[in-house]
Structure 1
């Protein structure tokens, strides 16, 4: 089948922000599929057009498309009539999978959770950088960062959580730390509903390193901006998979 009229995708496709190109591109393509703007069996717009509309390189676009192929949502076909096609949705999900997803997401206002998480993480990063850390505190933060770098995939989310909890605790506010622990538990429930994506984890690690560096340098504005961007990448993935 021919790709849909470009105007039909205009409300969804838009240039992504530079900091989270992969995650936001994935979110927008997932939205196209989940809204049914490209039906099962239909072809997505050509890679060149998609890349231009999203404002990303074709390499980044292909990485996003590959993730969705691995998830069984898209299929790449070669030849004269080839391209990237949306696969028809199965008549029924895997036994228990849909029920578990609904159980975890039910009753959660995802947007509220994500906004609150961003407020707390941005605030904690700014406080740590502005107030400064002792030598022992700085060593503790570096150790938490190093643990995420060396983490096996199965342990990554736990150690990622510990890094962010450490940053919250080092902010010096027990109330902030308690609130962050609570909202992070909700975020982790959501994260456990989506796949671990190596490309996203690599990007997150670069952001973690930059964030810790800004905190240790006392760059409060930089730390806040990196934290905000980092939260935005996670939010884009969760919206794409769960919205």
Structure 2
């Protein structure tokens, strides 16, 4: 199962348009749906999510309001994906401020376990296509223009590691974790992320995978993810201090 298929799996809450909105918006922000890509017809989307066509229609209307989907009429019409230049900032600020350091640590612990295992298995199982994708996504991160493109390139790299591990469960978990963490990690607060350092780390992980060095790939990936906790904790404390001053 691909990361996109994992996110668009049947809904656990039939009849809930908001869940459909969340799942499609996550796929857009993670770059699993390409800019300009045509979504399946409403009846087909409804079947994918396991909901009624009317539920999908309501979800698409909200996605249009958010600027994530554009609907065109006519023979070549349909609903098309529109990548935002930046994800919504304020909801992510509020979510991070409401979390505790313990909750952040738990998320990063889980991400280290999933990403580290994915990297190790990728070194054993990755195809030539997977490896090319890892290096291409590293280059996309280096040349990304704007916050939205950077988030998508970063997320896709980690998801591709799980895809390269040839594990449906790890891919599903990684996609879910990226949807949960990426918007927080890239919040434009405090010191900027050292993009050059991140690109170097991605390149080193990809090199370990292509070298079939599973232990090195795991170690590098776990160290890379550990840096997320330091940034998330620093941003959380910053928001806490801002809140105390109000």
What TM-score range do you get, normalising by the shorter chain? Answer: 0.5 to 0.7
Deviates more, 1:214-223 or 1:149-158: 149-158
Choose which of 74, 98, 120 in structure 2 pairs with 1:106.
Answer: 98
Indicate whether 1:205 and 2:199 are aligned. Answer: yes
Choose which of 140, 153, 157 in structure 2 pairs with 1:147.
Answer: 140
Alpha-carbon distance in 2 for matches of 1:145, 1:164: 10
**Gap change, CA 1:99 and 1:151, over 3 Å in 2:** closer
Q: Shift of residue 100 of structure 1?
A: 5.8
For the residue of structure 1 that corresponds to 2:184, the secondary structure is helix
* Contact kept? 1:125, 1:215, Cα under 8 Å: yes
Unaligned runs of 5+ in 2: 1-88, 238-246
Structure 2 length-normalised TM: 0.54
* Contact kept? 2:131, 2:206, Cα under 8 Å: no
> What do the CA deviations read for 1:161-197 (whole angstroms, capped 9, x no partner)?
1111111111111111111111111112322434385
* Contact kept? 1:138, 1:216, Cα under 8 Å: yes
Deviates more, 1:141-150 or 1:156-165: 141-150
Residue 187 of structure 1 corresponds to 181
* Contact kept? 1:105, 1:190, Cα under 8 Å: no
| RMSD, aligned α-carbons | 2.4
**Gap change, CA 1:205 and 1:120, over 3 Å in 2:** same
Alpha-carbon distance in 1 for matches of 2:172, 2:125: 21
Larger Rg, first or second structure (1 or 2): 1
**Gap change, CA 1:99 and 1:149, over 3 Å in 2:** closer
**Gap change, CA 1:196 and 1:174, over 3 Å in 2:** farther
**Gap change, CA 1:175 and 1:199, over 3 Å in 2:** closer
Alpha-carbon distance in 2 for matches of 1:107, 1:196: 18
* Contact kept? 1:104, 1:189, Cα under 8 Å: no
Choose which of 229, 233, 239 in structure 1 pairs with 2:233.
Answer: 239
**Gap change, CA 1:204 and 1:175, over 3 Å in 2:** same
Q: Shift of residue 106 of structure 1?
A: 3.4
> What do the CA deviations read for 1:107-130 (whole angstroms, capped 9, x no partner)?
67211111111111111101111x
> How many residues are matched?
146
Alpha-carbon distance in 1 for matches of 2:202, 2:92: 30
